[in-house]
Structure 1
Amino acid sequence: MEIRPRTPEDLPACVEALAGVQAADRYPVDWPADPGAWLTPDDIAGAWIAVDSGAVAGHVILTRAMEVSRLFVTPSARGRGLAATLLDTVRAAAAGPLTLRVSSEGAAAMRFYERSGWRRVATTRETWLNAAGEPATLHHYVSPSPGHYVSSPPA
C-alpha cells in the first residue's frame, strides 16, 4: 500500500473508488453532479490517496481551514488501518489541530474517530437531507492533542 499526494491524473480513479464507497455506504449521501469537483473543493490545501496494486483504495483532503474532508476507504481495502494511515498523513502535513465533520448516519466512522482520540465538540442540523429524508445531523470533531493521538497500526 502506497500513500502519496493526489495528482490531477488520479481524479478519474478517485471518482471510480468513490462510486464504490457510495454504493456500499451512501457516502456521499447524494451523488454529486460533478464528483471530480466534489473531491476538489475550492479551499483544498492538500489531497492524498492510498494506492493498492495500482487502484485507488483510499482518499483524504485537508482544507485550508485545517479540516479533514473527503476521507474514504474502498470496501475491499477496509480492515487494514488505511483510514488511520491517511489521517496520520494529513496530521503530518497540518499546522496545528484538525477538525472534521461526520453525519450521524456514519456510526462506524464516529466509532473510529472516537477510538482514535478525536473529541466531539458540537452537533448541528444541516439543510441537506439524510437517508430518511430529514435534515441531516452533523457531529463536529477536533483532533487529539499530539501526546494523546492514537496512531495507526503498521500497514
Structure 2
Amino acid sequence: MLEDTSRAGFTLVTARTNDQLVGAAFGWTMPAGTWWSRADAQPSRDVLDADKFAVMEWIVRPDRRGKGIGAQLIRRLLTGRPESYATLASDPRSEAREIYERAGWRQVARTTLTWGPAMDLLVINLPLSITDGDRTAG
C-alpha cells in the first residue's frame, strides 16, 4: 500500500473508537479516459471521460458493523471530491453489495481478477447523496 499513497488524489480516512481502529476507507483518482482493467464493458461516455475517484478499500470491523460507521467513512472519503463520479469493485456475493445498491451505487460492468472472484464494477455520482437512512452500510 505504500506505493498507493503517492497516487494522484490519494485519500485515507479512518474511524476509531477509544483509540482503537474500527474502520478505514481509501482510494485515489482514476483519470479521465481510464477504467478498470479486465472490465467486460466500458461505462457511459460521460463516466469514462471524467475523472473518477476509485474507492480501493472500505472496511469496518465485523463487530462494529450496522452502527453507521461505514456510511460515515464513505461520506468523509467522498465529500468535497473534485471528481464527478466515484467507482468501486464489489464481490457480488457479499452482503455489502446490496448495501451499495440501496445507497445509490449502480453496476456498469464486471471484471475478473487474476487472484479472486469476478467483481461488479459500480459507480455513483458525486457530490455524494448517501442519506442517514443508509446506516446499515457499516
TM-score, structure 1 as length reference: 0.62
Uncovered stretches (5+) of structure 2, i.e. residues with no partner:
31-52
1:72 corresponds to? 59
Residue among 6, 12, 16 paired with 1:51 = 16
**Cα distance, 1:62–1:75 mapped onto 2, change above 3 Å:** same
- 2:131 is the counterpart of 1:151: yes
Map of 2:118 onto structure 1: 137
Equivalent pairs, count = 111
1:102 deviates by 1.1
Residue aligning to 1:99: 87
Give the equivalent residue in structure 2 for 1:62. 27
Deviation at 1:45, TM superposition (A): 1.0
Q: Which residue in 1 is equivalent to 2:77?
A: 90
User: RCO greater where, 1 or 2, for CA within 8 Å and sep 6 or more?
Assistant: 2
Q: Give the equivalent residue in structure 2 for 1:23.
A: none
Q: TM-score, structure 2 length as denominator? A: 0.69
Which blocks of at least 5 consecutive residues in structure 1 are unaligned?
1-36, 130-135
Residue deviations 1:7-38 (CA, integer Å, cap 9, x gap):
xxxxxxxxxxxxxxxxxxxxxxxxxxxxxx37
| Aligned-residue offset at 1:42 | 4.7
Decide which structure has greater helix share: 1
Q: Identity rate of aligned residues, in percent? A: 23
